[in-house]
Amino acid sequence: MGKVHLQDTDTKEKTTEFNLVRVKGTWKRRLENNVNLDTVDRVSAAKIYESITEKGTTWTVVSPITFTYKVTETQSLLDPSNDTLLLGHISDPQQLDDLKKSNKPIKRFLVVDQEVYKIYGPKLHVYLEANNVLFKILALPTTEENKSMEMVLKILEEVNSFSLDRRTEPIIAIGGGVCLDIVGLAASLYRRRTPYIRVPTTLLSYIDASVGAKTGVNFANCKNKLGAYIPPSAAFLDLSFIQTVPQRHISNGLAEMLKMALMKHRGLFELLEKHGRMLLATKFQTDSSVYGHNCSQAASQTTHIAITTMLEELAPNLWEDDLNRLVDFGHLISPPLEMEVLPSLLHGEAVNIDMSYMVYVSKERGLLTEEEKQRIISCMVGLKLPVWHEACTMELIHRSLQDRLKHSGGLVRMPLPVGIGQADIFNNTSCEVLHRAYQNWSDELSVSPDSNGDP
Ligand SMILES: NC(=O)c1ccc[n+]([C@@H]2O[C@H](COP(=O)([O-])OP(=O)(O)OC[C@H]3O[C@@H](n4cnc5c(N)ncnc54)[C@H](O)[C@@H]3O)[C@@H](O)[C@H]2O)c1
């Protein structure tokens, strides 16, 4: 409502709300009752509030920004007849039509994880050449140890010399979560925001790093300390990439899937309990002639549930303004743990150790029964995930929770499973409970031959 009002008679503050309208190419502010829709080209969703007090004038700008991005599952992404990689991010039918009709070659800059490039490089070249693309491929060792600003700058130098149209030529990242995070940050910095596309090639990046808006690199020995909340234009998912991922990295991805199962979806937990070992052995390439219908469905069912449950949590909170996030389960203690022992624990492994301890905290608080606790730990072991680690000491747990307190508005905000497939966020876990849970966790799991994830 456009209005002029006195907010506070004591301070004599007068605030006026203005709409913004475009008339013949010029934006102007207008009181709402002064907007004639017949004479303006456009009315913006943005508003300007002008407040005048004795101290001076303040203009408050409220400018809603909408992010739209697609997560598309496809098959044979690198088949030359599949144009998803080049055009799948475009939603406007007119733009798509114009592009298809134009004889100007498509131009793309691609950053590919070096290991992925060794396997899929030849296929990628064939794909791009068959589609007459002007391209540059930068193959980089995008490892966790290299997940740094130096790597971002290296990419930016190459992007700059390739010279991209920042509105129509998205940068394509192909690789695991590390590659996608680094390239996403580089793209969000280049010319303040260049569109980018994510092609995940590990299970973890397929169901997690591809789905949301976060980009980042490690800094000051802290995980993802520098980053941005800028989603890609699109993420293109092809499960066949996963077939060449080492098995340990499949387990790594299964940890993030298990997180969603424990927090939100009992059905997903049951699927992992039943088919997890098979999914691990087949690397999600389930052929119905070999494994039967139910098993072959498990790969697509589990990935679909993991993606949709993740999207449900992320879409309403893309910038993580709401600090009460179930997806933080497994991410309270794991960041310092992962950094402390780098490179010996993978991200998902560190997350699983954190989840395993938190399951004991839940049990200690009476939120899980002994049987549920055992079931969860057995499932983790079945997925060949570590459930205990000597570097995860009580001191590290305290330090992580203190850090969390500092960065989470003075509350620990601890997501914990309440039964299997349901959760809540707790701010009142006592030190006593944390200690007792730690004691039981260590007593029961440190001696287990399976605790490090070995079969
Ligand atoms: N942005 C987000 O929302 C988000 C979410 C979760 C995790 N992450 C980040 O993701 C990272 C972990 O990702 P990751 O587990 O994919 O690790 P990764 O990117 O290090 O990849 C794992 C390993 O697999 C290799 N690889 C990748 N694809 C392959 C393929 N198809 N065949 C053979 N080898 C392949 C890579 O070279 C690497 O050695 C962490 O840095 C984490 O912080 C980000």
Looking at the structure, tell me whether residues 56 and 138 fall in a common domain: no
Cis upstream peptide for 170 (omega within 30°): no
Inside any domain, residue 452: no
Looking at the structure, tell me whether residues 50 and 106 fall in a common domain: no
Looking at the structure, tell me whether residues 225 and 274 fall in a common domain: no
Inside any domain, residue 453: no
For the chain, list residues with pLDDT below 50: 1-6, 453-455
Looking at the structure, tell me whether residues 224 and 361 fall in a common domain: no
pTM of the model: 0.91
Inside any domain, residue 168: yes
Looking at the structure, tell me whether residues 274 and 423 fall in a common domain: yes
Mutate to test the pocket of ligand 1, among 119, 147, 179, 181 (most ligand atoms within 8 A of CB): 181
CATH number assigned to the domain comprising residue 298: 1.20.1090.10
Looking at the structure, tell me whether residues 122 and 175 fall in a common domain: yes
Mutate to test the pocket of ligand 1, among 152, 202, 203 (most ligand atoms within 8 A of CB): 202
Q: Looking at 141-185, which runs of residues are DSSP E strands? A: 171-175
Query: Under 8 Å CB-to-CB from 437, ≥6 apart: which residues?
Result: 357, 360, 361, 363, 364
Looking at the structure, tell me whether residues 340 and 252 fall in a common domain: yes
Task: Tally the domains of the chain.
Answer: 3
> Which residues are near ligand 1 (CB < 6 Å)?
113, 115-116, 119, 143-144, 147, 175-179, 181, 201-202, 204-205, 208-209, 212, 214, 224, 241, 244-245, 249, 252, 347
Q: Which residue is closest in CA terms to ligand 1's atom 13?
A: 177
| Structure token digits, residue 61 | 């700008």
Per residue in 306-357, pLDDT (tens digit) is 999 999 999 999 999 998 999 999 999 999 999 999 899 999 999 999 999 9
Q: Which residue is closest in CA terms to ligand 1's atom 10?
A: 177
Give the pLDDT of residue 2: 41
Query: Under 8 Å CB-to-CB from 274, ≥6 apart: which residues?
Result: 298
Q: Which residue is closest in CA terms to ligand 1's atom 23?
A: 176
* Residue at a domain's end among 245, 266, 286: 245
Looking at the structure, tell me whether residues 237 and 263 fall in a common domain: no
Provide the residue range defining the domain that includes 85: 70-245
Looking at the structure, tell me whether residues 127 and 186 fall in a common domain: yes
Q: 423: which strand partners?
A: 417
Give the pLDDT of residue 209: 94
Q: How far apart are CA 71 and CA 211, in angstroms?
A: 7
Looking at the structure, tell me whether residues 37 and 140 fall in a common domain: no
Does residue 363 have an active-site annotation?
A: no
* Residue at a domain's end among 194, 226, 245: 245
Give the Å distances, CA to CA, from 55 to 12, 13, 52, 58, 128. Answer: 10, 10, 8, 9, 61
**Mean pLDDT across the chain:** 93
Looking at the structure, tell me whether residues 240 and 257 fall in a common domain: no
Q: 8: which strand partners?
A: 13
* Residue at a domain's end among 62, 82, 107: 62
Give the pLDDT of residue 4: 44
Determine the angle formed by the axes of helices 247-264 and 288-314, rounding to 10 degrees.
50
Cβ atoms of residues 186 and 171 within 8 Å: yes
Q: 196: which strand partners?
A: 171
Catalytic residue among 14, 154, 214, 259: 214
